[in-house]
Structure 1
Amino acid sequence: MKMKKYLLGLACVLFISCGGDGKSNKKMTPQKSETKKDQSTSAKDGGYGFEDLAEDLGFQTYAWSKEKDGTYFGDPKAKKGGTLNYIHSLFPRTMRIIGQNSSQVLNSRTIASLCYESLLSQHPTTLDFIPKLATHWHISDDKMKFKFRINPDARWWDGMPVTAEDVVATWDLRMDETILSPFEQMTYGKFERPVAESKYIVSVKANTVNWRNFLYFATMKLHPDHILKELDGTAFLEEYAFSMIPGTGPYLIPEENIKNQESYTFERREDYWDKDSPFSQHMFNFDKIKVSVVKDNDALQFEKFKKGEQDIFNVNRSRRWIEETDFEATQKGWMKKQRIFSEKPAGTSGYYFNMREWPFNDKRIRYAFCYLYDREKMNREMYYNEYGMMNSLYSGTVYENPNNNKFKYNPEKAVQLLKEAGYTSRNSDGWLVHEKTGKVLSFTIITQKTSAYMITPVQQMLKEYGMDMQIQFIDYNTMIKNVNARNFNVCMLAYSGLIYPNPESSLRSTLADQDDNNNVWGFKSDRVDELLDEYDICFDQKRRIEIIQEIDGIFNEVHPIAFSIARNYSRMMWWDKFGYPDWMLSRYVGEYWDAFYYWWIDDEKVDRLDDAMQNEKQLPIMPIDMKYWPAYLLELAS
């Protein structure tokens, strides 16, 4: 299919380079799409004037107000313009947000958030539903049917109007098994095919009652029917593996901005249909967001940051945070560094076992691994006690089962379990050998080179007790490809957390023997499946907490993960040229991604920084801890 392709990049938080003037008065060439207002569709069918009928028709909406919403949709002081430069360790596996290989955090936080939109969004602080492509919505009394009125002003990049048919086409695509993404069919298969009741009114019926049905359908990112109607799932995967189907969001990436495996650059759309809305006008401020790629070398990334080749740096390593961030630029306040606290879900990280195959199909081996993994020692000696211990899929939340085994370092228990599993003696190389099969207890972990500093100490801990963990270094994309094909023994992974737990997408038994989904361990449990069914139809939050805690306890007993460590803050550094809201990072995202959406270039700070660096002047030093959200919660509770 021939068409002009807009290639969108992923990104990771880019900021203006210290080498340029960095000011916001340099404007990019605007993109324009001439469109006429639809004056022919009646108000009742969702055209202009629908607002006057909405309440009588049973529809609701959310109205922005300064008193309620403050700066949570961006700061009025924000200015448009300039370029944000960032260096990331990955080039995207695909630039799609639907289908095989598209479930990376990088895709959801950048491409999906900057280039595509859903019918509704959620308030960044209260989680209330708010308008996006749809202005109004209706929920039936039995909570089985939903209706949405699409904004007649909403436009795709190519100027075509957003219509109810786009919703239908997107659902059809997600339900197409040839997109090789089983969780899509699991999630959207809970609905009947949507119905375009008019050009701007779309309805959908749920097959069963589920308290998350409205959330999932309302926040489904849309693609255009006028392009999808020419494609099946297989063609979609091919056509848009590294090019972007038009979206409705505030950014795009022209084809010439993609340098494969090197960089990709977002450009802000001057003709963004929602740019004057109070929900958008103070967000999406950078004219350009450039992401350059340095693979498997975070030391080089950091050096480039210090030289001004990137403008923001997410400090993952505790040693670097403690020992390597005290230099002239930070001492003089030219570069800022802070630990920014929020309520972001901790997510899940650690050593993920493939329970489908030897040796981790034996729970005793999994347990032994965990008892030999001395996380507390590593935290003391390597991580400067910057972390807490993770013992749950829902660490640090109300959903964590308090009775979970903490698996504290216990080599005696590990040795006992290994003997019970048949590993009673060692060979001449010192490795455990099974007493009946003669098989050496040797397995391979696949990982990136940048993770070596975390994995090598664990390798030595296991070696001391006869477990041979071989380390195979591969790049991230190859690692994920192997994990999705279930071609691994053990790997180190991290899943981002959700505000509302959705264990079905990673724990449903039907996913265990399928590729390309988040049940990477091969986890199966009839009881968990029963609890998942109950969770879907439970509208009582107290009971939902009990359900998730029970699921968490069952998962912990099976123990497909040797849990790692957790922290409830982000460690960030940036050159002091940016403006940002008082809260800096949002309540529930709480990561450097938020700079994409809410930060801007402050021309006065740019001049101040240039002057300070040229004349060796001191700039203000910020407190190391930024705790806007903890203070906000205390105020709510008072």
Structure 2
Amino acid sequence: MTKNLTKSIISVLFLLLSVNFSNAEQKNNQENKKENLDRSADPYVPAELGGNGFKEIAKDLGYTTYNFTKEDLYFFGDPRAVKGGTLRHITSRFPATLRTLGQNSNYVENSTIEGLCYESLISTHPLNLDFIPVLATHWKISDDKMQFWFRINPRARFSDGMPVTADDVVATWDLLMDETILEPSSQLVYGKFDRPVAESKYIVSVKCEQLNWRNLLYFGAMSILPSHILNDLDGTDYLEEYQWKMLPGSGSYIIYDNDIVNQESFTLTRRTDYWAADDPTNKYTSNFDKIKFIVVKDNQPLEFEKFKKREQDFYTVAKARVWVEECDFEGIQNGWIQKHRIFSEKPAGTSGFAFNMRKWPFDDRRLRYAFAYLYDREKMNREMYYSEYSMMHSLWSGSVYENPNNEKVLYNPQKAVQLLRDAGYKDRNKVGWLYHEETGKVLEFDLSIGKGLAYMVTPVQQMLAEYGINMKIKFVDGTTNWKNLMERNFSVYMQSWGGLVFPNPETSLHSSLADQLNNNNISGFKSTRVDTLLDLYDVEFNQQKRVEIIREIDGIYSHAHPAAWGIARNYQRLLWWDKFGQPEYVVSRYTGDYRSIFSYWWLDPEKEARLNKAIEKGEALPVTDIDITFWPEYLKSNQ
């Protein structure tokens, strides 16, 4: 028995030793792998110029980077994600080119291709918008903030296997500045920099012509293209040779020539040799093996029918009427198709009625507020838009930039009447219009619109008329209306502007523009405090401090009330066949639409099998809450 016990003890000790040796070996392998990654640079490049050992001395050299925490990585994909499958997306047009630069490359399809197939030096954090590394591991800003340096990751590779180097950054800038690419906006943006300098294989620097925090954003966000190809091309050659084929990129997807069917489809294929595939910020993104874009030209009803026949995997519902009246068919009722309103902080833009504060009657703040109090947006939302919209109270409605203390100016005829009386409009004339008690001037003004928009303004006209204000509607074409707006020949203008993730309020709010023509300060807004804040905003490199500045600007603007706010939709209406997995937040905080599907979602084999079985047997799947409100709830708890 003693002999058997001894043998058992020896066996256990041997097992423990084996496990320990195995763990030690695994740990050594991991450390060696990490060391190899950190020591992957050209051995002839010294550490101070970006070579091996740079990471250890980067801080002493003045470089910075973003150190990701476990909490950060939650917003870079879901560990449950699996790779595989094909995602099918119908688009309404075939792009005019598959280039991501140059003439005719400004379609949304091109920007989607750019984001999936190419990479920039740095990007912005999907949660807090801080700068984060992409091709560059580190970056440095001079004390006067007029020069930047970037250290390129020695591991970075293009899809043809060539390393990404500082020369590629220079060549990309040269192409963008080449007027023969026929894209003047590129010269406008990148002309604010001197030609970059390749200080070594891995270090590139650039000088700015004027101080502005956006300089780092714009230059750092430039998608880098391969110099070993660009050096043999001028702009004209680039336009011709790469009209329908792709330059090698360093991103996670590639488009092969045989996957381009002109005017019909193009397909992106996930690269199995993507250089950063195992990085923590990329490990659970880019999950689909293929993303196929199928063209159905300008025919939304047909696109919708194809979705219902499972020829498309998801569908964005643009119209409130379709959402309410046509999205209750069998597939949705049975839970085979998920139907959701996904709320986010995607910039909603600005809508409503902008006042010309340069002249009567809206040079009087009381009249601006009176109009706003009589504009019953909530009633219009209920009766015309199926209660699908929310009320706007800010230039940056529903975003982190909105000032939470802005007054919520909603329908209140009692307040409106009091303001009108305070302004001298107490009595009506024989035909029922208010007139000023001293001047006798009737309270009336024009609103010019296109005929197709009459349904949106006629109710407002009636609301104002009930309280003695005569808003006369005039029908004009869009060109004339825009010309009148730019020349300030208007009293009130029905506006609708898109939004930016990073606000640029100077071009629409600076006092120097208020009395000039042909700019976006359409209301004639002036504020010395806002002018000061705009100057501070342009040179503030800290994102949180910029948020605070914009919130103060928003509060000042809202108090002046140069516009009667309209309605906003801080969500996307989305349908999808229930075979996908997605993170808890479903879409990115600031992108907030279907484009997040390409990066964050994945084909879930179990859900796909469950869906197929349910359809085959005619069985229902669970139907979940229609509203997904992760981001609004996050914002409330993190103000």
TM-score by length of 1: 0.71
How far 1:614 sits from its partner (Å)? 0.7
Distance in 1 of aligned mates of 2:451 and 2:228? 42
CA–CA distance in structure 1, aligned partners of residues 624 and 384 of structure 2: 26
Letter of the 1:76 counterpart: P
Structure 2 residue 505 is matched with structure 1 residue 495 = no
Which amino acid in 2 is paired with 1:278? P
Q: Of residues 605, 609, 612 in structure 1, which corresponds to 2:611? A: 609
Moved more, 145-154 or 317-326: 317-326
Q: Deviations over 1:317-345 (max 9, x none)?
A: 22332332222222221111222223x24
Q: In the alignment, residue 68 of structure 1 is paired with which amino acid?
A: E
5+ residue gaps in structure 1?
1-36, 356-361, 413-440, 474-481
1:222 and 1:202 map into 2 onto residues whose CA distance is 12
Please state if 1:347 is matched with 2:348: yes
Aligned pair 1:87/2:84, yes or no?
Answer: no
Kept after mapping to 2: 8 A contact 1:135/1:150:
yes
The residue aligned with 1:582 is 584
Q: Distance in 2 between matches of 1:97 and 1:583?
A: 29
Identical aligned residues as a percent: 53
Q: 1:61 aligns with which of 54, 61, 65?
A: 65
Give the match for residue 326 of structure 2.
Answer: 324
Report SS of the residue matched to 1:608: helix
Q: Corresponding residue for 1:42? A: 45
1:298 aligns to what?
A: 300
Q: Please show how residues 131-170 of structure 1 align to structure 2 within 5 Å.
A: 131-170=133-172
Residues 346 and 566, structure 1, Cα contact 8 Å, conserved in 2: no
Could you say if the C-alpha distance between residues 599 and 393 of structure 1 is closer, same or farther in structure 2, counting changes exceeding 3 Å?
Answer: same
The one-letter code sitting in structure 1 at the alignment partner of 2:148 is F
Would you say the 8 A contact 1:43–1:53 is kept in 2? no
Residue type of the partner of 1:133? L
- Give yes or no for contact 1:119–1:148 (8 Å, CA) kept in 2: yes
Confirm whether residue 51 of structure 1 aligns to residue 55 of structure 2.
Answer: yes
Give the SS at the match of 1:313: strand
Deviation at 1:386, TM superposition (A): 2.0
> C-alpha distance in 2, partners of 1:278/1:546?
31
Q: How many angstroms does 1:569 deviate by?
A: 2.3
Report SS of the residue matched to 1:584.
coil
The corresponding residue for 1:388 is 390
* Structure 2 residue 628 is the aligned partner of structure 1 residue 626: yes
2:594 maps to 1:595: no
Contact 1:112 1:221 in 2 (8 A): yes
- In structure 2, distance between residues paired with 1:346 and 1:575: 27
CA distance in 2, matches of 1:179, 1:112: 17
Deviates more, 1:462-471 or 1:529-538: 462-471
Q: Using the TM superposition, give the Cα deviation of residue 50 of structure 1 relative to its aligned residue in structure 2, in angstroms.
A: 3.1
1:612 offset after TM fit, Å?
A: 0.7
The C-alpha deviation readout for 1:264-292, integer Å capped at 9, x for no partner, is 22222222222222221211111111122
Deviation at 1:525, TM superposition (A): 8.8
Change (3 A) 1:404 1:63: closer
Compared with structure 1, are the counterparts of its residues 609 and 399 closer, same or farther at alpha carbon in structure 2 (3 Å cutoff)? closer
Q: Report the alpha carbon displacement of residue 61 of structure 1 after superposing the two structures with TM.
A: 3.2
Contact 2:177 2:186 in 1 (8 A): yes
* Pick aligned residue for 1:570 from 572, 591, 598: 572
Question: Retained in 1: the 8 A contact 2:349–2:396?
Answer: yes
2:224 aligned residue: 222
* Cα RMSD after superposing both structures: 5.3
Query: Quick one: which amino acid aligns to residue 120 of structure 1?
Result: I
Structure 2: gaps of 5 or more residues:
1-39, 357-362, 418-445
Match of residue 125, structure 1, among 124, 127, 130:
127
Distance 2:108 2:395 in 1: 17
Q: Aligned partners of 1:191, 1:60: CA distance in 2, in Å?
A: 21
Q: Map 1:366-515 onto structure 2 (within 5 A).
A: 375-390=377-392, 392-397=394-399, 399-400=401-402, 445=450, 457-458=456-457, 495-498=498-501, 500-503=502-505
The Cα of 1:600 is off from its aligned counterpart by 0.8
Helix, strand or coil for the counterpart of 2:302? Answer: helix
Partner Cα separation in structure 2 for residue 519 and residue 212 of structure 1: 20
| d(CA) in 2 for partners of 1:560, 1:178 | 42
Letter in 1 for 2:61: L
Q: Secondary structure at the match of 1:570?
A: strand
Task: Provide closer, same or farther for how the CA distance between residues 349 and 240 of structure 1 changes in structure 2, counting only shifts above 3 A.
Answer: farther
Q: Using a 3 Å threshold, how does the CA distance of structure 1 residues 152 and 537 change in structure 2: closer, same or farther?
A: same
CA distance in 2, matches of 1:376, 1:256: 52
Secondary structure at 1:204 match in 2: strand
Q: Displacement, 1:118? A: 0.8
- Provide the C-alpha distance between the structure 2 equivalents of 1:627 and 1:403, rounded to a whole number of angstroms: 22
Cα contact 1:154–1:161 (8 A) shared by 2: yes
Task: Point out the more displaced range, 77-86 or 121-130.
Answer: 121-130
Distance 1:89 1:505 in 2: 32
> Of the two, which has the highest radius of gyration?
2
* C-alpha displacement of 1:246: 2.8
Whole-angstrom CA distance in 1 between matches of 2:376 and 2:243: 41
Note the alpha carbon deviations across 1:473-509, whole angstroms, 9 max, x for none: 9xxxxxxxx9xxx9xx9998652431x3124577899
Alpha-carbon distance between aligned partners in 2 of 1:523 and 1:240, rounded to the nearest angstrom: 45
Q: What SS does the aligned partner of 1:138 have?
A: strand
Instruction: Tell me the alpha carbon deviations over residues 182-233 of structure 1, each in whole angstroms, 9 at most, x when there is no partner.
Output: 5544543443322111011112233444333333332222222233334444
Q: State whether residues 394 and 406 of structure 2, in contact with CA within 8 Å, keep that contact through their aligned partners in structure 1.
A: no
Aligned to 2:44, the other structure's residue is in SS state coil
Judged with a 3 Å threshold, the aligned counterparts in structure 2 of structure 1 residues 468 and 223 are, in CA distance, closer, same or farther, namely farther
Shift of 1:249: 1.0
Counterpart amino acid of residue 58 in structure 2: A
Contact 1:85-1:309 at 8 Å conserved across structures:
yes
Q: How far apart, in 1, do the equivalents of 2:513 and 2:237 lie? A: 24
Question: Counterpart of 2:277 in 1: which secondary structure?
Answer: coil
Alpha-carbon distance in structure 1 between the residues aligned to 2:377 and 2:569 = 14
SS of structure 1 residue aligned to 2:170: helix
Q: Give distance in 2, aligned partners of 1:272 and 1:293.
A: 28
Number of residue pairs matched by the alignment: 569
CA 1:459–1:106: 2 relative to 1, 3 Å: farther
- 1:374–1:408 Cα contact (<8 Å) kept: yes
Cα deviations by residue, 1:549-606 (Å, 9 ceiling, x for unpaired): 6876999999999975312222221111111122221222222211100111111111
Task: Give the distance between the partners of 1:78 and 1:100, measured in 2 at CA.
Answer: 37
Structure 2 vs 1, CA of residues 136 and 545 (structure 1 numbering), >3 Å: closer, same or farther? Answer: closer
Query: Aligned pair 1:72/2:78, yes or no?
Result: no
Q: 1:94 to 1:403 in 2, by over 3 A?
A: farther
Residue 80 of structure 1 aligns with an amino acid whose one-letter code is K
Q: Return the offset for 1:531.
A: 6.3
1:548-567 residue pairs with structure 2 within 5 A?
Answer: 548=550, 564-567=566-569
Match in the other structure for 1:11: none
Cα distance change, pair 300–511 in 1 and its aligned pair in 2 (3 A): farther
Instruction: Return the offset for 1:84.
Output: 0.5
